[in-house]
Each structure stands twice: as C-alpha cells, then as structure tokens.
C-alpha cells in the first residue's frame, strides 16, 4: 500500500489556535511531518482557528467554564473537514474526545516544569510579605498559597507576551509560566527560574503536544504514527487516568506527573483546595503497562483522604 502524501497543490491542513505558542507547536508538528516524509513545508498549510477561550479575555477562565474552552471550535473544524489534523497543548485537553475524533499522537515531551517569572527574585520564598502574584491557574494559585499564605493572587489572563507586559507595568511582582512554552517559543530575556516538580508539581500533561485526527482517517493515522512518541504516551496514559478518576479539567487544582525508569513508571499526584488550605499528595510506582490503573488508584487514594466539602467549591 502506498501512502497518498500531501503536496503543495493538495496540502495537509493543520488546525491550531493563533497564539504565538500555539503557532510554534503547529510549526513543530509540520516540521516533524515534513522531515519524516521528506516533504517541503508547502505540502502543509496552517489554519488558525479562534476559540471561545481566545475570544473572551475579560473574565476569569473558571467563570467562562465548560470543558474544551480552547478546543471546541478546533474539533468542530476537524469533524467538518476544514482541517485534517489539530495540534493541541495536552494540558488543555479534556480526558475524553468528542465522538468521531482520535487523539493518539504525541510529540516528544518538552520540559515539564513550571517556571517562576520574576525580575527581582528567583523563588517564591524570596518574595516580600504580602506582595501580588499574577496567575489564572487555580492549581498554581493553590500551590502558591499553600507555601505562602500571606501573598495576594490576582487573575492574569492573556498569552505569554501579555503577561510579561503586566509584570513590566507593575500589576504583579511575579507570575508562573510553563517552561515548555518558553522553550518552544525560543524567547530570550525572560526572568525565568524553573521549579523542581518536588516544589511545585506541574499540571497533568504539561509540556506535551497532542495531534488529533478524524477516527477512521487511515492516511492521516499512518502519517501521525511516524512522529508519535511512545514514552510521552505512556506517561500521559497514567497522568490522564489520574485526572479522569478525579473528573478534573485544566482549571481544577490538580497536579500530576509520571516519570519512566526502565520498565517502571512513577506517578506523583496532588489535589488542593483553591485557597491552599488543604492539600493531599501521594505517589505510586509500578510497571509502565499498568500506568492507567495506577492513575485511577492514586486518585482514589487522594480522594479518600480529602475532608468533607473538599470539592464543594466546584459547584458553588
Ligand atoms: N493553559 C494554557 C497553557 N496550556 C499549555 C501551556 C504551556 C505549554 C505546555 O504546558 O505544553 C499553557 C501556558 C502556561 O501554562 O504557561
């Protein structure tokens, strides 16, 4: 069977959000496919799609709510045939995809760590008492307040460039960003200090890019198979099973990270109250193949330790 490869006249259409980070991820996907199949860049087109999350910038993410805030419109374009593949930050992806779509191609994972962004200090412990830190992530807010309950947290929406400008303008003294985003955009001069996972456990799937396709699109499935990274898939299988058992999404204070060591996988997980007043963390190690069961089991273990009302804020 010969693979019907895209050409400049019939290019493969790559759907993505329009932020600089999303475009860097789409370009990386294109470059990997072009290299794998020895194709020119012109055999691909990048189609930018605006999502609800991109459109609504004046409200906190948790208020807009709903799953797939950054993905729904892109998935609709995929189902409608306007694009052939969709490139996503796996951190933003719900654990289940809509019917008719498959998300089983992952690029090699970038740095998983959060970075502390602050011109004046290198760790959260050096910040003066009571100063303002900006973040729109409930997880980072809760993890910060666990360690520094004296600090003030303000909502920080917008892409990386917008957030850095807010620091310059003095809206906050520090913020957090995923190291992966900084590395992928190759921007220099950002006052960033990576934070060890022991000090701040990252979000489930942080640093991983997933490429989604239509179910049954065998041509695209074969192409994506050539750029798929199995270790990343093994780690995400455990992390996303952990998330699924907690019924969480990107905007709940949940952290999880799997690492591989030979045949073994170690999964660390953490759940928090948004104000940092209660956290439960744990870890589990086993065979890589058992990652999904380990994820579910660690989640149940943490849930069993949560005091009554731990998750009530979600429906409040
Ligand atoms: N929720 C936004 C989002 N989704 C993925 C990344 C970073 C890149 C990644 O984790 O792969 C970011 C921004 C950030 O956390 O700084």
Domain CATH number, residue 276? 3.30.160.40
What is the predicted pLDDT for the residue at 248? 63
Does residue 263 fall inside a structural domain? yes
Compute the average pLDDT of residues 56-81. Answer: 80
> Cβ distance 26 to 87 under 8 Å?
yes
What is the predicted pLDDT for the residue at 315? 47
Give the residue, out of 22, 69, 181, 239, with the most ligand 1 atoms within 8 A of its beta carbon, to mutate for a pocket test. Answer: 181
Domain with 251, as residue range(s), is 240-314
Compute the average pLDDT of residues 179-200. Answer: 94
Distance CA 217, CA 16 (A): 19
Count up the domains in the chain and report the number.
3
Q: Are residues 19 and 93 both part of a single domain?
A: yes
Whether 51 is in the pocket of ligand 1, judged by its Cβ within 6 Å, is no
User: With bands split at pLDDT 50, 70 and 90, how would you rate the model's confidence at 249?
Assistant: low
Does residue 7 fall inside a structural domain? no
> How far, CA to CA in Å, does 240 sit from each of 41, 248, 269, 294, 298?
33, 10, 11, 11, 12
Q: Are residues 101 and 216 both part of a single domain?
A: yes
Q: Are residues 220 and 288 both part of a single domain?
A: no
Q: Are residues 291 and 216 both part of a single domain?
A: no
Q: Which residues pair with 167 in a beta bridge?
A: none
Query: Residue 55: is its pLDDT beyond 90?
Result: no
Q: Provide CB contacts within 8 A for 224, sequence distance 6+.
A: 85, 104, 105, 211, 213
Distance, CA of 297 to chain centre: 22
Confirm whether 92 is a catalytic residue. yes
Q: Which of 7-11, 153-157, 211-215, 297-301 has the lowest mean pLDDT?
A: 153-157
Does residue 173 fall inside a structural domain? yes
Q: What is the largest CA-CA distance in the chain?
A: 66
What is the predicted pLDDT for the residue at 247? 77
Compute the average pLDDT of residues 18-28. Answer: 96
Query: Residue 59: is its pLDDT beyond 80?
Result: no
Q: Are residues 90 and 220 both part of a single domain?
A: yes
Structure tokens at 204: 């489930």
Distance CA 5, CA 276 (A): 51
**Cα separation of the two ends of the chain:** 56
Radius of gyration of the CA atoms of the chain, in A: 20
Q: Are residues 213 and 72 both part of a single domain?
A: yes
User: With bands split at pLDDT 50, 70 and 90, how would you rate the model's confidence at 251?
Assistant: low
What is the predicted pLDDT for the residue at 313? 60
Residue 68 Cα to ligand 1 middle (Å): 14
User: In CATH, what number is assigned to the domain containing residue 61?
Assistant: 3.40.190.10
Q: Are residues 84 and 224 both part of a single domain?
A: yes
Q: How does pLDDT run across 105-117, given as a tens digit for each residue?
A: 999 999 999 999 9
Compute the average pLDDT of residues 278-307. Answer: 96
Structure tokens at 48: 């930018």
Q: Are residues 20 and 103 both part of a single domain?
A: yes
Annotate 71-115 with three-state secondary structure: CHHHHHHHHCCCCCEEEEEHHHCCCCCCCCEEEEEECCCCCCCEE
Q: What percent of the chain has pLDDT over 70?
A: 94
Does residue 290 fall inside a structural domain? yes
Please state, rounded to an integer, the average pLDDT across all residues of the chain: 93
What is the predicted pLDDT for the residue at 38? 98
Alpha helices in the chain (DSSP H): 20-37, 52-55, 61-64, 72-79, 138-147, 160-168, 179-185, 218-225, 230-246, 291-305
Q: Are residues 50 and 129 both part of a single domain?
A: no
Compute the average pLDDT of residues 19-27. Answer: 95
- ipTM for the predicted complex comes to 0.93
Does residue 272 fall inside a structural domain? yes
What is the predicted pLDDT for the residue at 310? 81
Q: Are residues 290 and 216 both part of a single domain?
A: no
Give the residue, out of 91, 106, 114, 157, with the most ligand 1 atoms within 8 A of its beta carbon, to mutate for a pocket test. Answer: 91
Q: Are residues 96 and 221 both part of a single domain?
A: yes
Residue 61 Cα to ligand 1 middle (Å): 14
What is the predicted pLDDT for the residue at 311? 72
Query: Residue 252: is its pLDDT beyond 80?
Result: no
Does residue 20 fall inside a structural domain? yes
Q: Are residues 120 and 103 both part of a single domain?
A: no
Compute the average pLDDT of residues 44-56. Answer: 90
Q: Please give the number of the atom of ligand 1 that sits closest to the Cα of 203.
A: 10
Does residue 202 fall inside a structural domain? no
Query: Residue 157: is its pLDDT beyond 70?
Result: yes
Query: Residue 64: is its pLDDT beyond 80?
Result: no
Compute the average pLDDT of residues 260-275. Answer: 96
Q: Please give the number of the atom of ligand 1 that sits closest to the Cα of 178.
A: 16
Does residue 133 fall inside a structural domain? yes
Q: Provide CB contacts within 8 A for 252, sequence distance 6+.
A: 138, 139, 246, 314
Q: How many residues does the chain have?
A: 316
């Amino acid at each position: 069977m010969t693979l019907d490869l895209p050409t400049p006249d019939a290019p493969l259409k790559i759907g993505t959000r329009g932020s600089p980070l999303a475009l860097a991820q789409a370009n990386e996907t294109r470059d990997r496919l072009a290299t794998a199949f020895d194709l020119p860049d012109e055999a691909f087109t990048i189609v930018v799609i605006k999502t609800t999350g991109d459109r609504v910038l004046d409200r906190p993410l948790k208020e807009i709510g709903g799953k797939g805030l950054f993905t729904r419109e892109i998935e609709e374009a995929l189902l409608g045939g306007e694009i052939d593949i969709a490139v996503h930050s796996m951190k933003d992806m719900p654990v289940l995809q809509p019917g008719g779509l498959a998300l089983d191609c992952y690029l090699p994972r970038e740095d998983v760590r959060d970075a502390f962004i602050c011109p004046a200090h290198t760790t959260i412990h050096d910040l003066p008492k009571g100063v303002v830190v900006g973040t729109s992530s409930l997880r980072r807010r809760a993890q910060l307040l666990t360690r520094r309950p004296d600090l003030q947290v303000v909502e920080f929406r917008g892409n990386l460039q917008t957030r850095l400008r807010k620091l310059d303008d003095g809206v906050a003294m520090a913020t957090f960003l995923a190291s992966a985003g900084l590395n992928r955009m190759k921007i220099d001069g950002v006052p960033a200090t990576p934070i060890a996972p022991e000090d701040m456990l990252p979000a489930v799937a942080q640093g991983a890019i997933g490429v989604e396709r239509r179910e049954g699109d065998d041509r695209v499935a074969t192409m994506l198979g050539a750029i798929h990274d199995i270790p990343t898939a093994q780690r995400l299988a455990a992390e996303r099973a952990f998330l699924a058992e907690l019924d969480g999404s990107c905007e709940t204070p949940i952290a999880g990270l799997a690492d591989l060591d030979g045949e073994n996988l170690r999964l660390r997980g953490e759940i928090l109250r948004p104000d940092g007043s209660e956290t439960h963390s744990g870890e589990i190690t086993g065979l890589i193949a058992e990652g999904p069961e380990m994820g579910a089991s660690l989640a149940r273990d943490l849930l069993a330790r949560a005091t009554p009302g731990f998750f009530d804020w979600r429906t409040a």
